[in-house]
Amino acid sequence: MRRIHWNVLLALLAGVGLGMLYAWVLSPRGITDAQPRALRADFKDQYRSVVAAAYAATGNLPRAQARLALLGDIDSIEALNAQAQRMRAGSASGEQFEHVDLVVALALALSEDKNGAPISTPTVELVVDQVENTSTATSPPIASEAPIVLTETPVSIETQPTPPTVSPATPRPTQTLVPTLGAPFDLTGQESICDSNLPDGLLQVVVLNRNRRQVAGEEIAITWDGGKEQFFTGLKPELGNGYADYIMTPNTTYTVQLARGSDVALGISAPTCQTANGENFFGGIKLTFQQP
């Protein structure tokens, strides 16, 4: 009986050893059904980029907030802004400018929702500004399915919404088509940035059109007591087409405005921030201008 007992014990030990060798070394089981908060830092950045792309396609902000909450970030807006800065600075890693724009757009949408401002969803907007409707102001709009009524008076009638057509029977010499520069810009965002990884006193300006797309080539005028300078968006395409920055001098108050018309940002100065170790440093300011 004792001999049989030891043989069984040895067989059990051998079986357990072989099972552990197979499970731990030969065919270890991968991690499945893990929460996004357990992801590595670079995988979390990819997760935020995917959420931003999904929001740009659907415009569903509550769903984007729910997905970002799974990461367990203390502040999703700050996490998105910090990721956008890393993506802009890491152009050598192959980051696409469009991805940076999507992350910035999602951060702006969350910031507007947090501040109670109206949210403009990133939907595709078709704007026809090169062809002018020649119907009179008093005539009601004509549906595409309505029958065409011919009268003796030469009246321009549009039978289809796209492409718009202009009847040569009613020339309007006083309404010459002139390309417009667009509406002035509103100051839609102003926030202090306390990030010790950024240069001290960094003023960041982002200019967006009415479709929340960044606009390059916008002149920005910055003035202070006894001085004035200009800088332009788009000079750092790796940081975004509508991005521009300026290093502010500590303890100096500035006024910032777009050259072709915008709200005026008054009293702009570098804020005093503090690190986790209690050391003081000068933070930055981020301004966002957008066409209404």
pLDDT tens digits, 207-221:
999 888 998 888 999
DSSP per-residue letters across the chain: -HHHHHHHHHHHHHHHHHHHHIIIIISPPPP-S--GGGS-HHHHHHHHHHHHHHHHHH--HHHHHHHHHTTT-S-HHHHHHHHHHHHHHTGGGT--HHHHHHHHHHHHHHHHHHTTPPP----------SS---S-TTSPPPPTTSPP---SS-----S-SSS----TTS--TTS-------PPBEEEEEEEE--TTSPTTEEEEEEE-TTS-B-SS-EEEEEETTEEEEEETTS-GGG-TTEEEEEPPTT--EEEEETTSB--EEEE-PPEEE-TTS-EEE-EEEEEEE--
Give the domain-ending residue among 68, 97, 114.
114
Give the domain-ending residue among 114, 133, 148.
114
Indicate whether 213 belongs to any domain: yes
pLDDT one-digit tens code per residue, 5-48: 777 888 888 888 888 888 888 877 766 667 888 888 888 888 98
The band of 192, judged by pLDDT with boundaries at 50, 70 and 90, is: very high
Indicate whether 181 belongs to any domain: no
Domain of residue 253: give its range.
186-290
Predicted pLDDT of residue 162: 57
Question: In terms of domains, do 106 and 190 share one?
Answer: no
Indicate whether 146 belongs to any domain: no
Number of domains in the chain: 2
Indicate whether 196 belongs to any domain: yes
Examine the pLDDT at 132 and tell me if it is beyond 50.
no
- What CATH number is associated with residue 238? 2.60.40.10
Give the domain-ending residue among 90, 114, 138.
114
The band of 282, judged by pLDDT with boundaries at 50, 70 and 90, is: very high
Indicate whether 142 belongs to any domain: no
